[in-house]
Structure 1
Amino acid sequence: MRDDNGRLTRRNLLRTTCQAGVAALLPVGLGSTPAFAAMPQRKNIDDLTPTELDNYKHAFKIIVQRGLASATAKDGYVWQAALHNDFERVRPDGSIGACEHRSELFFPWHRAHLAGFEALLRAADPPRTADVSLPFWDWTKPASGMRFPTAFEDRTSPLFHDGRAHAVTPLTRRIQWDADEIRIKMVQETDWLLFAGEPLAPDGSGGSYGWVEKGPHNTIHGDIGPTMGNPESASRDPIYWSFHAYIDLIWARWQRVHTSATSPQPFTTPNTKIWVEPFTPVMADTAQTATMPAGFAYGYQYDFSIDAPAVPVASAARTQRDLESVQAGPRMTTTRAVRVAGEKRRILRVRDVAVLPDTTYAIRAYVHPPAVNISTLGEQERQRYLADSATVWKGHGHAHHPTNVNFDITNAVTALGNEFTVTLISDAKPASDSQFESARASANERIAQRPLWGTLSLEER
């Protein structure tokens, strides 16, 4: 292929010579055109040129049409969405399951899912789609549309979806996460297991939410609307790919700060298989975006200079002690007064947190003087004592195992001095704003029928 002046460009030469090798990575049924080898650069969807956006929509529409023609076509949208949504799906190894959440598999699984889909987009209708990449939605910035990027609000576009709350109302706030929280609390986190989540046990129990998942991921999924708010339907909404591309970008930022040739990506189980198609890697294959197997590598057009200088992953000595509760119920727990000494990092660990099949709920961790009774304060009064929070996304197919949730209460403890009390309070988060008050009351009644968490402990490091 040549440029507009008839010259054979280096990029097109590389693409042409690598086509045969990349084609072997794609499964039978993806067609004769391979995913091209030139590494795509993911851009903010609001920064795409009109041509780039049109080509992305064109490729997306082709994959959707393939899925409508055959639900079993692996290069069609129905199949690709089911990789995330279908919790009864039988994997090639005979295991059952879909997307991975609440463990360190969260980032690698979604990276592989997006990379495979991106390869299908590029192979959809070349040369027009040869340079297509998945655009990311930067949800730390004000939306260019009413609640979403304008590309997702065009009703004539294949990127539009009815299962979103498009209007801004008192109950459907504008979606924007604090960029400084991501930059400071998440990207600068030196503990991989706090940032990403802990590994699951062989039976699927245990694990934990990382900072990104318990915060913006679980919260914004439900805020977008009913389709994205349900793990069994989330990737039917075309916004899923751009929403998760920004999640992946946060991980890429973390890796730039904390990993290197001498400090590699610290996976606990690097050889765990990730069952997505057409890219079926092990976790270690996803360790860097630019070094994944040919045809699936990519980069980001993003100003990485906003992040701190490189800092190695830390492995600090730590101690842990259980906290005794003096008041406990299904939606609130208050501990006895806790005494601490010295300036240390302090993590509140909440074990055996229930993942409910049909209800998403929030947990807020308050750190306050022992004399303060949080239960008697109004919501605005409580805010001064709020140390950290988490959203527990409803589980559907994953709901049979509880998980663990960590809260960083360091700053709150430091502000109070050597004695404090912790109170956890939860409430339900309805998936949409229809009949909001009755939905919230019904959901809160459901979460009041069972304990939502087990023991609390304080980790000092």
Structure 2
Amino acid sequence: MHIRKNQRNLTSAEKKRFVSTVLQLKRQGGYDEFVRQHVQYYRADGDDGPRAGHMAPSFLPWHRKYLLEFERALQRIDPKVTVPYWDWTTDNTPAASLWSEDFLGGDGRSSDGQVTTGAFAYAAGNWNINDGVLERKFLARAFGRPASPIALPTKAELAWAMDESVYDAAPWDSTVTRGFRNRLEGWTAGSDKTRWRNHNRVHRWVGGQMLGATAPHDPVFWLHHAFVDLLWDRWQQKHPKSTYLPQRRLDDDDPQHGRAISLDEPMPPWRTKPSQMLSHQSLYRYDA
């Protein structure tokens, strides 16, 4: 049993251990495999095949499994390392501790978004990006999206999701207007500044690689999703009678048949089912 800590509570030694282990996984080639996996399973509403990672009920259990596999890869290098979480409702400015030079580094420069501080800066020589999607080889960020400013989600905006008592609902995609899953994931039909909620807004606020399917290129991705995972746990405690939906495989004539994953269907690329990921207490716990 290991503990995932709030990043603001990490000691200098714990920060150094996490960074050095992530860099080692990168050197071994394992880190980029996780990025490619996320790209493969980032499917939009209209895509064929199972939508395992995003815009679907399995968003939360899929990322719990994905995050756990990443954490295990780190622990094969250093058994003492765990993935910390970033509470973006509290640590919500560029001055927050996770952006320090001894941890994740800071914002990108205004000219091209390139991160120039910390161990993940291109100039440090340890974090070259080559994913065939963007021509730039460096980690980029644009905190707050200066061209059209946005803020990180507030506690009230998060409460809007946490207060929803139903897990998910038809049509089980990004257009659904109720359900905790999509309120937390954050797809809406609003105008530009209100369109992105909670999880999605955080990706938009960070910018750079975090804007798309290659988001794990930015190590903050893991801290962001550890908090999303913690929020799912808090929601389950708040709504103990609510459960994962859909419970059963969708009918053949349902437009989402073969796309939305039900409780006991496997989530690719693993054989793991959402029902196996409903609780993490036997694997790890949070310090919250």
**TM-score by structure 1 length?**
0.44
1:156 counterpart SS class: coil
**Are 2:85 and 2:225, in contact at CA under 8 Å, matched by a contact in 1?**
yes
CA distance in 2, matches of 1:53, 1:137: 13
Find 2:168's aligned residue among 179, 186, 193: 193
Tell me if the contact between 1:44 and 1:137 (Cα under 8 Å) persists in the aligned partners: yes
Q: Secondary structure at 2:211's aligned position in 1?
A: coil
2:180 aligned with 1:212: no
- Is residue 237 of structure 2 the alignment partner of residue 237 of structure 1? no
Q: CA distance change for structure 1 residues 78 and 169 in 2, over 3 Å: closer, same or farther?
A: closer
Relative to structure 1, is the Cα distance of residues 224 and 169 closer, same or farther in structure 2, using a 3 angstrom cutoff? closer
2:243 matched to which residue of 1? 265
Structure-2 residue corresponding to 1:102: 55
Identity in percent: 24
Cα separation, 2, equivalents of 1:88 and 1:217:
15
SS at 1:290 equivalent: coil
Greater helix share, 1 or 2? 2
- The alpha-carbon distance between structure 1 residues 158 and 97, as it changes in their structure 2 partners (threshold 3 A), is farther
Structure 2 counterpart of 1:59, one-letter code: T
CA RMSD of aligned residues (A): 3.1
Q: Which one-letter code corresponds to 1:152 in the other structure?
A: L
**Greater share of strand residues, 1 or 2?**
1
Aligned pair partner of 1:138 in 79, 87, 90: 87
After TM superposition, what 4+ stretches of structure 1 lie above 2 angstroms from structure 2? 86-89, 95-99, 142-151, 158-162, 168-176, 197-200, 205-209, 263-267
- Which structure: larger Rg? 1
Distance verdict in 2 for CA 1:240–1:82, change over 3 Å: same
Gaps of 5+ in 2: 107-116, 122-126, 128-137, 187-196, 247-261
Match of 1:177 in 2: 153
2:140 touches 2:208 (CA, 8 Å); kept in 1? yes
| Cα distance in 1 between the residues matched to 2:53 and 2:82 | 23
Instruction: Identify the residue that residue 222 of structure 1 maps to in structure 2.
Output: 204
Quote the offset at 1:143 in angstroms.
3.9
Q: Answer yes or no: is 1:47 the counterpart of 2:9.
A: yes
Alignment partner, residue 139 of structure 2: 162
5+ residue gaps, structure 1, are 1-38, 68-75, 90-94, 292-296, 303-461
Separation in 2, partners of 1:119, 1:146: 30
Letter in 2 for 1:230: G
Shift of 1:96: 6.2
Residues 123 and 130 in structure 1, CA contact (< 8 A), matched pair in contact too: yes
Confirm or deny that 1:287 pairs with 2:278. Answer: yes
Question: Distance between the aligned counterparts of 1:152 and 1:138, measured in 2?
Answer: 15
Residues 269-324 of structure 1: per-residue CA shift (max 9 Å, x gap): 211212246xx511111101114xxxxx211111xxxxxxxxxxxxxxxxxxxxxx
Greater length-normalized contact order (CA 8 Å, ≥ 6 residues apart):
2
The 3-state SS of whatever aligns with 2:66 is helix
Tell me what 1:152 maps to. Answer: 104
The amino acid across from 2:218 in the alignment is: D
What amino acid is aligned across from residue 267 of structure 1 in structure 2? Answer: L
C-alpha contact 2:42 2:52 (8 A) present in aligned 1: no
Residue in structure 2 matched with residue 361 of structure 1 by the alignment:
none
Alignment of 1:264-343 (within 5 A): 265-268=243-246, 269-276=262-269, 280-291=271-282, 297-302=283-288
Contact 2:75-2:81 within 8 A present in 1 as well: yes
Q: Decide whether the 8 Å contact of 1:41 with 1:298 is kept in 2.
A: yes
Q: CA deviation at 1:141?
A: 1.4
> What residue in structure 2 maps to residue 17 of structure 1?
none
Q: CA deviation at 1:49?
A: 0.9
Structure 1 CA distance, aligned partners of 2:229 and 2:171?
18
Residues 87 and 98, structure 1, Cα contact 8 Å, conserved in 2:
yes
Shift of 1:137: 1.0
Cα distance in 1 between the residues matched to 2:120 and 2:236: 33
Q: Secondary structure at the match of 1:123?
A: helix
